Amino acid sequence: MSNTMIAEPPQQTFTDDYDRMVAELMKIAEEKPTLRMIHSQEAKAIEEWQELYPELALYIEVTKEDFSKIYEGKLIATAESSIEFLDLDKDPDRRDVVHLTTYGKPIGEQPILLPAAFWL
């Protein structure tokens, strides 16, 4: 008597969700609904750019850095999502330039309250 096993198809939930998410992100990247090109001529400290453009993704051309930190740069573009910056690296004028993608400071930043056990 032979034993026949029927293999169940592998679950595609993760792959389908992942593919759907990638498709949505690529649609945003193509449409660029909030991309705003700035092309700043003035270099400023990264923290200063983050203060000036709260809660936005920032695409910055690095002008001053060392082995451990980026200090300043020129703001190239802003957007609500950094996915909108995908095509900016493909520009031939920007290929050999170091760029930083960061986010502006959150609005309404609240202090973190520690439980009383940590006060002692």
Residue 25 clears pLDDT 80, i.e. is over it? no
pLDDT in tens, 61-108: 999 988 888 899 999 999 988 888 888 777 666 667 888 888 888 877
Single-letter amino acid code for the residue at 3 = N
CA 7 remoteness from chain centre: 41
- Taking the C-alpha atoms of residue 120 and residue 112, their distance in angstroms, rounded to an integer, is 17
pLDDT-derived band at 118, boundaries 50, 70, 90: low
Q: How far apart are the first and last CA of the chain?
A: 73
Looking at the chain, list the stretches that DSSP marks H as alpha helix, in order from N- to C-terminal side.
13-31, 46-52
Map out the domains of the chain as residue ranges.
Answer: 34-106
Residue 14 clears pLDDT 80, i.e. is over it? no
pLDDT in tens, 32-48: 788 898 888 999 999 99
103 within 8 A of 55, measured Cβ to Cβ = yes
